[in-house]
Amino acid sequence: MDQFKQFALICLALLHALSISAGDNHSGKPDNKFVRKADNLFIFCDYKNALPIYEKLAEANPENAQFNFRLGVCYYYSGTDVLKCLPYFEKAKNNFTDNTSEEAIDLYYYLGTTYHMVNRFDDAIACYTKLKEFILPDKQGQEDIKDLDNQIAACLRGKELIQHPGNVAISDLGTTVNSEYADYAPIITNDQSMLMFTSKRKECTGGRTDEDGNYYEDVFISRKLEDGDWQESKRLDTAENLEHNFLRFSKSKVLGNSINTREHDASVALSPDGKQLYIYRLDDVWVSDYKNDKWNKPSRLNNFINSKKSHEPSVSLTMDEKTLYFVSEREGGFGGKDIYRSEKQSDGTWGEPQNLGSTINSEYDEDAPFIDSENKTLYFSSEAHGSIGGFDVFKSKLENGSWSVPENLGYPVNSGANDIFFVYNSKTKTAYFSSLREGGLGNYDIYLADYNPKKPDRYIKTRFAVTLNGQLKNSPTLIEVMNADHYRDSLKLTNSNSDGGIYKPGETYFITITTPSSGKYTTEFKVPENAKAGNYYQEIAFDEVKDKDGKVSGYKTTLYNAFFDVDSAITNTPFAAMPDKTKAFAAYLGTVKNSGNPSLSVSSYEEKASKTTAAMDNTALPKLNPVLFEYGTDELSPEFIIEIEKACVYLAANRSSRLEITGYTDSKGDENYNQSLSEQRAARVKNYFIRKGIAASRITFTGKGETEPAAPNENPDGSDNPEGRKQNRRVEFILEPK
């Protein structure tokens, strides 16, 4: 069971049953069968069926604390849209009139763990600390306080770890592989051409659901196309068969129903030669051989691997196929799940296992082992060893017969949520793993970790400065900058020792800024094509946003981009003599209050630099320009992502609003082809919104082909009009506020 859910159930038991009586939390609540039905479903933990009812209740009663709280809980335990719980929990917190009621107390747990999952560590610590005030000092209470202290310690480690990000680019594998349901446990061939993974999506065999309302597990498969994208994933038994070289699907045969059944079937490992697939079924490990162009009926591994009284969910096979690392909950371990190893015997069976010992295993759970190609480095996930939240990925090296102290792989691989099932290819320096994090499709997604991100071949550097309420800010600020090639700079900015950005002229970049309240703001900027070598300057300005009581409720975040040689510009000015370049540039541009240059204001600065501004609580209806496409393609161009991002910000802040997407083409080509292409363009944009966390139910899309041109496709003399056709290859948006 998920660690967060386990702890939630502990808290619910501690704080007694959830109240269903009317009180001030029900203020204004209609007394009818509709509400009673939602309450009854909720009390019996039927969150799946309670969710749509509470959605309607919260929409009709937006200030009702209990409706928002219970809707948040329904999302929290949903098989999809898990992180959508956060705004409802926050709204409930602001509207509970009795902060000592049972549900108000429960809220501190749910809000704290959700903040923890999205790396808002300070906010999570505040919730955990508040929750400790309500725990009774009995034996169970002492255990609960210990658990809360562990969570606080994890948050403190997370705050430290996130300030030293590794040079690794993390990217979601996208909608062709991932779904809105849980997708995890990736296994991949050595040539990186074929991917198998486990999913709990609705296409599972038999369509069965467990007691939590989640679909049963099935094994899915995808292969990499020539352009590097992944093919649309399919359930293994319904996928086209594989050729002998395991590089692509055969079009002649279909696999029999040998891997996926009506039970839980999960992928756990693939042998190095790709001819044996290990799966998890009925609490044990099974193996299927690939013979005669099909996966044969799986057989259960022997009793040395599969213990009668425990379950074994994960395995990894060494390159020589002589050693099997596996996970078990059997008696005699150090507590929870432990990692063991077994050697292959002369008759081909697996021998008596050995526990890897206390260096690797702990009183908590260890899971998902992966041994590298040289059989010297073990990657695994653990809730111990200094995890920053749930499962983190660690590595340990085998040296002189002993395992080294596990090393946390750090941020951004690890996060405040569970990060697990890490598989690494030392030749390509890439890894695949599973995580539930912001920007995903709703639940666990499979991510690519690229440890050799592509750097721009021609670049310029900028100096960064950070201000708070118009003054240079002393505490560090974290940013991440990424381009279309997934080259990522993760920087810890301080004005006393400012890091610099590295950019390629003419390229568009996306920057994610961590605000003082641990929230995040994402925007983009484009570096001028003609940018030459020089001292460029960027400034991140934070301005406090206060509520009606004068308390800080968030931060307005402004990014200033001065893409001209500021150093040359201050020549022959008093600022050139200032020894600190950061202060000199800020003073010259007039962005810092009392900078000594009252003649320069922010408005004059805007004439020299582009300015992008957004408030964290932005609710203004944005003006959206069409997204344009190249001829004959539905690929999104990075320069138009900002239009989609503006709509994302609005939709996230206005959860009752809806979006209408319409795709178009120019008049060249077959009419039926153009109709299909326009639909593909609209669908591509819709999928981008879904990946950003906008529910598909809020989006409608259609394609209108070459109809309704925005500009003439031809000139008056009948000749081709390329510029006009360019304006017609578009997707338009209509936001519908409600």
What is the DSSP pairing of strand 536-546 with strand 460-468? parallel
**Which residues of the chain have a pLDDT value below 70?**
1-31, 238-257, 455-457, 484-488, 496-499, 591-620, 638-639, 693, 738
Q: 0.85 exceeded by the pTM?
A: no
**Assigned domain for 418 exists:** yes
| Shared domain check, 227 and 145 | no
Structural domain that includes position 390? 169-450
Instruction: Look up the CATH number of the domain holding residue 699.
Output: 3.30.1330.60
Instruction: Answer whether 14's CB lies under 8 Å from 135's CB.
Output: yes
Q: What is the CATH number of the domain that holds 476?
A: 2.60.40.10
At residue 363, the pLDDT reads: 94
Residue 722 preceded by cis peptide, ω within 30: no
pLDDT at residue number 498: 57
Supply 254's token pair.
Answer: 């279909």
Report the alpha-carbon distance of residue 367 to residue 564 in Å, rounded: 52
Residue finishing a domain among 560, 592, 615: 615
Identify the domain boundary among 594, 615, 636: 615
Give residue 738's pLDDT.
64
Clarify whether residues 53 and 103 are in a common domain.
yes
327 & 181 share domain: yes
Q: Are residues 116 and 265 in the same domain?
A: no
Domain annotation covers residue 508: yes
275, 343: one domain: yes
211 found inside a domain: yes
Give CA 296 to chain center in angstroms: 36
Q: Which of 416, 450, 484 is the last residue of a domain?
A: 450
Query: Residue 123's closest CA among 702, 542, 650, 517?
Result: 517
Residue 405 and residue 339 in one domain: yes
Q: Are residues 316 and 442 in the same domain?
A: yes
Q: Do the Cβ atoms of 117 and 435 come closer than 8 Å?
A: no
Residues in CB range of 348: below 8 A, 6 or more apart: none
Shared domain check, 385 and 465:
no
Report whether 464 contacts 501 (CB < 8 A): yes
- Which residue type does 634 have? D
CATH number, domain containing residue 139:
1.25.40.10
Asked if the peptide bond before residue 412 counts as cis, ω within 30 degrees of 0, the response is yes
* Count of domains forming the chain: 4
pLDDT (0 to 100) of residue 238: 56
Residues 251, 353 within the same domain:
yes
The structure tokens 């079009």 sit at 251
609 with 716, same domain? Answer: no
Query: Does one domain contain both 235 and 332?
Result: yes
**Ramachandran bin of 594, using left for φ above 0, alpha for ψ from -120 to 50, beta for the remaining angles:** left
Is 455 inside any structural domain? no
pLDDT digits (tens, 9 = 90+) for 535-593: 788 888 888 888 778 888 778 888 888 887 788 878 877 888 888 778 888 777 776 54
What pLDDT score was predicted for residue 603? 27
**How does strand 377-382 pair with strand 407-408?**
unpaired
Q: Are residues 369 and 494 in the same domain?
A: no
Query: What is the average pLDDT value for the chain, to the nearest integer?
Result: 83
How far is 48 from 213, CA to CA, in rounded Å?
Answer: 7
